[in-house]
Amino acid sequence: MKTSATLLAAALALPFAAAKVSYDGYKAYSIESHNEYEAVEKALESLEWVNLACTDNHDHLDIAVAPESVEAFEALGLDFKLVDGDFGAAIAEEGKMKKYKRTVKRQDGPAPLPDFEFFDSYHPFEEHLEYLEDIHAAFPDNSEIFVAGESLEGRPIQGIHLWGRDGPDAHEAIIWHGTVHAREWIVAPTLEYILYKLVDGYKKRSCSSVRALDNYSIYIMPVVNPDGFAFTHESTRLWRKNRQPRAGTTCVGTDVNRNWPHQWDVPGGSSTNPCSETYRGLAPGDTPENAVLTNHTLTIAEKHGLKNYIDWHAFSQLILLPYGYSCSAVAPNNDYQMKLAGGVEAAIRSVNGLTFTYGPTCPTIYQTSGVSMDWAFDIAGAELAWGYEMRPLTQGQGGFVLPPSHILLSGAEQWAGAKYLLANM
């Protein structure tokens, strides 16, 4: 089976390889498995294709087929639907980036907030760091840049800490992580949109922002897998994992969101295969990125208490609650979490009409083990620990590859949900 792990072996054999992968001529398909998922995979073994959605829900398979395999694929007799006849063009459109124009710092006071043009395109990793620095420059008395640690390749795992009138240490913490899965480009600018709205609103004395920052200590980390994210820009757009090599295999990378040191080895919720998109690692917490995130989160939780943790993802339009590792385990405050999630969903839906499904992860979608949400709830003591899957709903609507025009749409939706959550939890 020539999925992304083997199809791109030459580029992925070394952690620092950055040969640019082209998707020109690829076509995207959704295949119905009819409870014969393994048979479908076997039928694809001789073809060149890339997996476009990583789930353990085996009712269908979303793939992009290389141009030299399209004719053979369509002759297999599978129950498929063409969802994008020019997948390479979608990648090219998404990749039209505008250079971020940084704000000019003033000597006599705070800098202006960054220009809203930042949200007109996607940006490389370095420009996300610059954006956080410019937000801090515009809000110097109520924010700080922090570096929780470094990735395997030495990139900073960086965020921004916001607070209100009572200072940085006065209230319970909120921690929001983004882009643990590298290919989910819509996540970082969506979080940065929320960040902008919080700061702009506080400066203008907007009730929602003032109430949020005067009652919580908020930590926002838009890109917690910087090596993987940089790799999606430099080489392989659909890369998911970190860039950690392992002995005895040419397959690179661990799924950092199957590596959290809690319920890590529960059968069925992750993979022991280093070539799998959901490879959990050799031991719980054995990725550099996870070690940084667990240490930082525990430090903040012990210092402030942890009111809310969210791990932001795309796609599928979901609000996921504990637990992922078990379909029978129920969070003690599940009713409270469900009520809040319903309110968040209604707030999101009010913006553009998109509906989000919400509920405990395992019974709502599928089993996931070693995930951040379960760890944050059980180990870090978060009162609310959620995972978001943002727009779009399906691969046919763009999947991981969304035009930049979706950034403002996603930002407005998630800002509405965040305002509701911050006001009601």
Residue by residue, DSSP assigns 14-76 as STT--PPPP-TT-EEEEEE-TT-HHHHHHHTTTSBEEE----S-TTEEEEEE-GGGHHHHHTS
Lowest mean pLDDT among 3-12, 199-208, 239-248, 261-270: 3-12
Are the C-beta atoms of 161 and 143 separated by less than 8 Å?
A: yes
Q: What is the CATH number of the domain that holds 39?
A: 3.30.70.340
- Alpha helix (H) residue ranges in 278-405: 288-304, 334-352, 361-364, 372-378
- Residue 405: the pLDDT is 96
Instruction: Give the pLDDT band of residue 6 (cuts 50, 70, 90).
Output: very low
The domain of 84 spans 4-94
Q: Tell me, yes or no, whether 270 lies in a domain.
A: no
Q: What is the mean pLDDT of residues 338-363?
A: 98
Burial track 176-211 (b if 16+ CB lie within 10 A, e otherwise): bbbbbbbbbbbbbbbbbbbbbbbbbbbeeeeebbbb
Q: Quick check: 182 pLDDT over 80?
A: yes
pLDDT tens digit string along 274-296?
999 999 999 999 999 999 999 99
The count of structural domains within the chain is: 2
Where does a domain end: 94, 127, 155? Answer: 94
- Residue 58: the pLDDT is 61
Are the C-beta atoms of 417 and 196 separated by less than 8 Å?
A: no
Q: Tell me, yes or no, whether 251 lies in a domain.
A: no
- Residue 42: the pLDDT is 86
| Residue the block writes with tokens 């073994």 | 45
Q: What is the CATH number of the domain that holds 180?
A: 3.40.630.10
Residues annotated as part of the active site: 389
Same domain, 83 and 227: no
How far is 274 from 280, CA to CA, in rounded Å? 8
Q: What are phi and psi of 82, to 5 degrees?
A: -75, 120
Instruction: Give the pLDDT band of residue 2 (cuts 50, 70, 90).
Output: very low
Q: Tell me, yes or no, whether 103 lies in a domain.
A: no
Give me the half-sphere count of Cα atoms (radius 13 Å) on the Cβ side of residue 122.
25
Are the C-beta atoms of 177 and 187 separated by less than 8 Å?
A: no
- Residue 50: the pLDDT is 87
Lowest mean pLDDT among 18-27, 54-63, 304-313, 340-349: 54-63
Q: Quick check: 352 pLDDT over 60?
A: yes
Same domain, 297 and 391: yes
Q: Quick check: 387 pLDDT over 50?
A: yes
Where does a domain end: 63, 94, 125? Answer: 94
pLDDT-above-90 percentage for the chain = 85
- Residue 240: the pLDDT is 96
- Residue 56: the pLDDT is 52
Q: What is the mean pLDDT of residues 374-391?
A: 99
**Residues whose CB is less than 8 angstroms from the CB of residue 261 and which lie 6 or more positions away in sequence, other chains included:** 284, 285, 290, 294, 370, 375, 379
Same domain, 305 and 158: yes
How far is 389 from 252, CA to CA, in rounded Å? 25
Same domain, 89 and 133: no
Q: Tell me, yes or no, whether 265 lies in a domain.
A: no
Q: What is the mean pLDDT of residues 214-223?
A: 99
How is residue 356 written in tokens? 């989000």
Give Dmax over CA atoms of the chain in angstroms.
70
Same domain, 79 and 193: no
Same domain, 56 and 192: no
Same domain, 160 and 34: no
Same domain, 180 and 60: no
Q: What is the mean pLDDT of residues 146-167?
A: 98
pLDDT tens digit string along 94-142?
989 999 999 877 777 899 999 999 999 999 999 999 999 999 999 999 9
Where does a domain end: 62, 94, 126? Answer: 94
Instruction: Give the pLDDT band of residue 39 (cuts 50, 70, 90).
Output: confident
Same domain, 185 and 308: yes
Give the chain's mean pLDDT: 93
Q: Quick check: 3 pLDDT over 50?
A: no
- Residue 54: the pLDDT is 60
How is residue 227 written in tokens? 């090596």
- Residue 57: the pLDDT is 55
Are the C-beta atoms of 279 and 270 separated by less than 8 Å?
A: yes
Q: Tell me, yes or no, whether 276 lies in a domain.
A: no
Same domain, 68 and 25: yes
Same domain, 81 and 123: no
Within 10 A of 239 (CB to CB), how many other CB atoms are there?
28
Instruction: Give the pLDDT band of residue 61 (cuts 50, 70, 90).
Output: confident
How far is 89 from 95, CA to CA, in rounded Å? 10
pLDDT tens digit string along 219-262?
999 999 999 999 999 999 999 999 999 999 999 999 999 999 99
Within 10 A of 39 (CB to CB), how many other CB atoms are there?
12
Encoded amino acid at 30, one letter: S
- Residue 51: the pLDDT is 85
Are the C-beta atoms of 373 and 387 separated by less than 8 Å?
A: yes
Q: What is the mean pLDDT of residues 398-419?
A: 97
- Residue 5: the pLDDT is 38
- Residue 376: the pLDDT is 99
Instruction: Give the pLDDT band of residue 13 (cuts 50, 70, 90).
Output: very low
Q: Quick check: 327 pLDDT over 60?
A: yes
Q: Tell me, yes or no, whether 275 lies in a domain.
A: no
How far is 38 from 32, CA to CA, in rounded Å? 12
Instruction: Give the pLDDT band of residue 9 (cuts 50, 70, 90).
Output: very low
How is residue 35 written in tokens? 């409870």
Same domain, 184 and 302: yes
Q: Tell me, yes or no, whether 67 lies in a domain.
A: yes
Pairing of strands 60-65, 27-32: antiparallel
Q: Quick check: 17 pLDDT over 60?
A: no
Q: Tell me, yes or no, whether 262 lies in a domain.
A: no
